[in-house]
Amino acid sequence: MREVVLVYLDRSGGLQKFVHDCKKYNDSKQSYAVYRFIISINPSDIAELDATLGNYILHNPLQAAQIFQSVCFVAIKTLSLIEQLQTEAQISILLKPTHLPPLPSYVLSLSAYPFNYTSQRFYMSEGIVIAMGTVTKYTQGARFLCTEETCPFSEGRFRCIRVHCPGATESATVRTDFVCSLCSSPLQEDMKFRVLGDKQIVEMIDAKILNALKGYSIDKSHFRIQAFTLFLR
């Protein structure tokens, strides 16, 4: 599947964009614990190249992103795109599909029952924004060092890093109770390597509320509309 990923990136122009993004990181004077890349993908094109990879991206996007992560790391090291990069774990890949299959199973509808949305895969959702919060910062990645000076993980290498994953809370990335996996000593964050991003909270309601506002009763004496929260990062 790694070979298919490389072929797709080359054919779609994604590899050229990736090289351009790497150049911006390499030319920057700022130090990064995590290098974040957004890769646009067309599920249909990938499925034509390899059906297994296409299905994997649609239904296991977090695991599929790890395949892209491995390919991107090899490309960076082979082409010497980012001199500061040390480990594969420093690369954060966000897969951004251009579209999803026009099938009911890919539509997220909170007005339907039962709510069988336990899998961490892509869904489409359509609604009306009724409230928006202010744009705030969140931690995309951070580096930690062991507080025990004799521990190899106390050195200035990127052996203990935390990367934000979709669906995770802020405390999953930055906390004060992390311990070293080698000696169990407390870990301390190296603040100058913290990577920040923007996030915004949005309140939405299902688009079906429009029918209620138009006065369609459909022989229903009672109905209830509840908003749901989205985190835009």
Which residues fall within 8 angstroms of residue 231, CB to CB, at 6 or more apart? 199, 200, 201, 202
Query: CA nearest 188: which of 203, 175, 200?
Result: 175
- For residue 227, the model assigns a pLDDT of 87
| Beta bridge pairs of residue 35 | 91
Q: What is the pLDDT of residues 98-135, one digit of tens each?
A: 999 988 888 887 767 666 667 788 888 888 999 999 99
pLDDT value at 223 more than 60: yes
**C-alpha span between 119 and 112 (Å, rounded):** 16
pLDDT value at 188 more than 90: yes
Q: What is the mean pLDDT of the chain?
A: 88
**C-alpha span between 45 and 6 (Å, rounded):** 13
pLDDT band at 216 (very low <50, low <70, confident <90, very high): low
Domains contained in the chain, CATH given = 1-106 (3.30.1640.10), 136-195 (no CATH)
- For residue 200, the model assigns a pLDDT of 96
CA distances from 1 to 12, 109, 222 (A): 16, 32, 51
Amino acid residing at 93: I
